[in-house]
Amino acid sequence: MSAFQPIHGQCECARVRYRVVGPAEELYHCHCLRCRRLHGALFATFAVVAREHLVIERGSGALSTYTSPHGEWHFCRHCGCHLLVDSDKRPDAVWYMAATLDGDASPGHPQDTEKHIFVASKSALATITDSLPQYAGYAPEGEAGSSKEP
């Protein structure tokens, strides 16, 4: 963990910029309808990281919040880019959208935690072509980095 080099990401209009100083616990691609709608995409990719490892470097005042039953979704109110999700169920963690990382920055998650979840509600337009594990809903308890929220 001490070898992790800080990585950065930002919203599309660059008002909001963040830094991540520790590796993600897990990475997953969520195909649920909520994620599809909120992100305007076929699926959304979440990196889960300890809260103290994510720092908003600038533009926190530009963030707006949408509260769903599964957490608080923070997005830039200027460009609409979704950046972060908080959940009461794990106040020690934050979910950030790995697609907003700069360039080829990697979240540093253990490789065996990457997976597809909620594939039962996958868009007919989405074709999964990788060999990552797939789960109909959340990954089962006890698996490496079993996903809870969102």
C-beta of 69: minimal distance to Zn ion in Å?
Answer: 12
The DSSP H or E segment spanning 65 is strand 63-68
Burial class, 29, CB count within 10 angstroms (exposed 0-12 / middle 13-18 / buried 19+): buried
Say which DSSP state 39 is in: H
Among 20, 32, 84, 94, binds Zn ion (CB under 5 A): 32
C-beta of 131: minimal distance to Zn ion in Å?
Answer: 21
Report if residue 139 touches Zn ion, rule: CB under 5 A. Answer: no
Alpha carbons 117 and 136: distance in angstroms, whole number: 6
What would the x/- binding string for Zn ion be over residues 33 to 62, using CB under 5 A?
A: --x---------------------------
Interface residue list for Zn ion (CB under 5 A) = 11, 13, 15, 30, 32, 35, 76, 78-79
